[in-house]
Amino acid sequence: MKTPRFKSWFARLPVLNGPQRRQVLDALRPLAGLDQVVALIDQVRSPGRCCPSCGGARCHRHGVANDLQRFRCCACGRTFNDLSGTPLARLRLKAKWLEYSQTLLDSLPVRKAADRIGVHRNTAFRWRHRFLTWVKLDRPACLTGIVEADETFLLESQKGSRKLDRPARRRGGRASTRGISRELDCILVARDRHGNTIDAVTGRGALTAAQLERDLLPKLDRQALLATDSNAAYRAFSRKHKIAHEAVNLRAGVRVRNAGTSAIHVQNVNGYHQRFKAWLLGFRGVASRYLPNYLGWRWALDGRRIKSAEQLMSIAIEVINT
């Protein structure tokens, strides 16, 4: 619309009645949401923009497609936009993305999130795991000081699978054997006294020293003091890598003990376990293959670390700690 025609149209807005004004607002709201999302994508991606094919930093504008500016790489000639190579590439309905990010902050189940933003439940489920793909990678680079580590277990779930490798359970069911078995997913959580947290789904059954080497060692400061329960895997891991280690014997009823001027306990990490499991109840069962995404989602919410939909979406398209 040319400027004179727009000015004439804009000058007539005050004469609209109530229903007509609401109709105009309903028509403009999606476009306003789209403009906000496009501006946020450009703000996040422009500082380090490069070709996803060859990594070249030199590019020039090459038209607009799907509401996003396209670029052509000067080195390889390939075209791309700011979402190419990100988990949100090729997703539609961009105007609803910020509103959907807020449903993640509100921890809404799939159907309630779909109803709030007006999409199909399958779309809401697909968006959930696309948005969380890089959110789960936004973790602290290192744990320092006194680091508490402990594992917790959840019953293995094949929810949503078309084929099961075991008999189906009714309403989630329970393990066929008591204690720790191969029917349980082991979740390792390590947390220092500053609140920095890392976690990993180590596998099925009891925790091993080899799993600690794979999932904990790369994130652990070698000068840290590792506080755990009396699991032998932590003792073997600490001895092999010469890491200071103190254990509390929870089976004997010892919750806290003193080592010099430091209090040795695993209550912070156990509290995190409880908050995570209580939060999971709202989703009525989570498939084992998606557990890493839910662990990352919980870490994003814990202590209100992510406070806005814009911040969550920024992490979804650009990992901070890389």
- Token pair for 211: 């799993």
The CA–CA distances, whole Å, from 298 to 135, 237, 262 equal 10, 27, 28
Domain ranges in the chain? 146-160+180-286
Tokens encoding 50: 């490069």
Q: How far apart are CA 123 and CA 120, in angstroms?
A: 5
Q: Does domain 146-160+180-286 have CATH number 3.30.420.10?
A: yes
How many Cβ atoms are within 10 Å of 110's Cβ, its own excluded?
A: 17
Q: What is the pLDDT of residue 32?
A: 66
What pLDDT, on the 0 to 100 scale, is given for residue 319?
A: 57
Predicted TM-score (pTM) of this structure: 0.86
How many other CB atoms are found less than 10 A from the CB of residue 284? 10
For residue 295, the model assigns a pLDDT of 95
What pLDDT sits at residue 172?
A: 73
- Partnered with residue 73 across adjacent β-strands are 59
Task: Give the residue carrying structure tokens 């080497």.
Answer: 213
Residues of the chain with pLDDT under 50: 320-322
pLDDT of residue 321: 42
pLDDT number for residue 280 = 94
pLDDT score at 110: 95
Provide CB contacts within 8 A for 173, sequence distance 6+. 155
pLDDT value, residue 155: 93
Measured CA to CA, the distance from residue 291 to residue 174 in angstroms comes to: 18
Q: Tell me, what's the pLDDT at 305? A: 85
Nearest to 83 by CA among 73, 68, 98: 68
Predicted local confidence at residue 201, as pLDDT: 96
Asked if 145 and 225 count as a contact pair (C-beta separation under 8 A), the reply is: yes
Q: How far is CA 249 from the centre of its chain?
A: 33
How far is residue 220 from each of residues 134, 146, 192, measured CA to CA in Å? 21, 10, 10
Compute the mean pLDDT over every residue in the chain, rounded to the nearest whole number.
90
